[in-house]
Structure 1
Amino acid sequence: MSSTVTAVSSNGTYSFTKPNRDSITLLAGLGVEGDVHAGVTVKHRSRVAQDPTQPNLRQVHLIHEELFAEVGADGFEVAPGELGENITTRGMDLLGLPVGTLLRVGDDAVLEVTGLRNPCLQIDAFQDGLLKRVVGRDEAGNIVRKAGIMSVVKHGGTVRPGDTITAELPSEPHRPLDRV
């Protein structure tokens, strides 16, 4: 399984969107160098309020570019970085990967998939009604989260648009992604 990086984004201050960059540097055990969410322990405000000593399982956020076309069909305009992701991808079913999948990105970087992004109401502040398009329910009534996946950095490196991403699935039995 392989895909392509279409954009990379980071922001040193808290804001919903992240500006696109020419490259980002991933730091093992920390996340994206200079990004507000980088660190060993949680950095997302709601999680810090609950317990600031929790491990940071959300160091790097990846989202599939195909989601932008999907929500675009309903009139929403979303571009890379605007949903706060660090890496925008094309060509891989990120949401279908199991926990523990290793993503080799570019020449050196390795990410370990930890779970699904659990989007919040800030998405509706960005574009009213968008939250219902990225979180819904399937035919059985189960919650479906489409706003990307979260990961931790196992091996650092520089990531640029155009880099290849390859997935290495963990040993079976596979655990499906859940929110982190």
Structure 2
Amino acid sequence: MTTGGQVAAVSRHEEYGFSKPNHASVTLLEGLGVEGDVHAGETIRHQFRMTYEPDLPNLRQVHLMHEELFDELALKGYAVSAGQLGENITTRGVDLLGLPTGSLLHLGEEAVLEVTGLRNPCAKINDFRGGLLGEMFAIDPGTGEFTFKAGVMAVVRRGGTVRPGDAVEVALPAPPHRPLERV
């Protein structure tokens, strides 16, 4: 296990909406997600996807985003801060997008998340800040591969309280590693 960084902010919202307010702490519930968050549940809670696949397992219980993305966006003129893009946990010092599927994130003293895939950014990002959706994608100049930059999704494997300043430790799954895909 390697120390990957720390929790910069935690956010949740009881109702559907694009941004989530920051809180002093959140409680992660095993197999469900963030207590008091609209996206918590055993089955899909994503508002659009619930209409056509409501009984599928919820692989998007917790949304994590790297705070370094906000630094990158600021250089391009976009003012974005923790929770504004709908994430529950904002990290610093963790290469979330470089993790393989199945990586475990140990947050604070108790909580453990399993990374399930990449967040698929939606057009609502442009409603929040015009043109921002285009910044949520990247193309590797060497390979031409296309990737999403809007964070990762995870499920709660062990519950616990998470606060800003908590350490984030990363445990990689056994090889062969599978790259992250959209969930």
The TM-score bracket by the shorter chain reads over 0.9
> Which residue in the other structure is 1:138 paired with?
140
> Which residue in the other structure is 2:39 paired with?
37
Matches within 5 A, 1:28-177: 28-139=30-141, 140-177=143-180
Instruction: Output one character per residue of 1:147-169: Cα deviation in whole Å (capped at 9) or x when no partner.
Output: 00000000000000000010000
Give the deviation of 1:49 after TM superposition.
1.5
> Which residue in the other structure is 2:8 paired with?
6
- Measure, in 1, the Cα distance between the counterparts of 2:138 and 2:164: 30
Give the deviation of 1:137 after TM superposition.
2.6
- Measure, in 1, the Cα distance between the counterparts of 2:139 and 2:109: 38
Secondary structure at the counterpart of residue 55 of structure 1 = coil
- Measure, in 2, the Cα distance between the counterparts of 1:76 and 1:5: 22
Secondary structure at the counterpart of residue 45 of structure 1 = coil
- Measure, in 1, the Cα distance between the counterparts of 2:43 and 2:170: 25
Choose which of 19, 22, 26 in structure 1 pairs with 2:21: 19
- Measure, in 1, the Cα distance between the counterparts of 2:33 and 2:6: 19
Secondary structure at the counterpart of residue 40 of structure 2 = coil
How many residue pairs are counted as aligned between the two chains?
A: 180
TM-score (norm 1): 0.98
Q: Partner amino acid for 2:151?
A: G
- Measure, in 2, the Cα distance between the counterparts of 1:43 and 1:135: 24
- Measure, in 2, the Cα distance between the counterparts of 1:135 and 1:50: 26
TM-score (norm 2): 0.96
Q: Partner amino acid for 2:12?
A: S
- Seq. identity, %: 59
- Measure, in 1, the Cα distance between the counterparts of 2:26 and 2:6: 15
Q: Which runs of 5+ in 1 are unaligned?
A: none
Give the deviation of 1:117 after TM superposition.
0.3
- Measure, in 1, the Cα distance between the counterparts of 2:22 and 2:111: 19
Give the deviation of 1:143 after TM superposition.
1.9
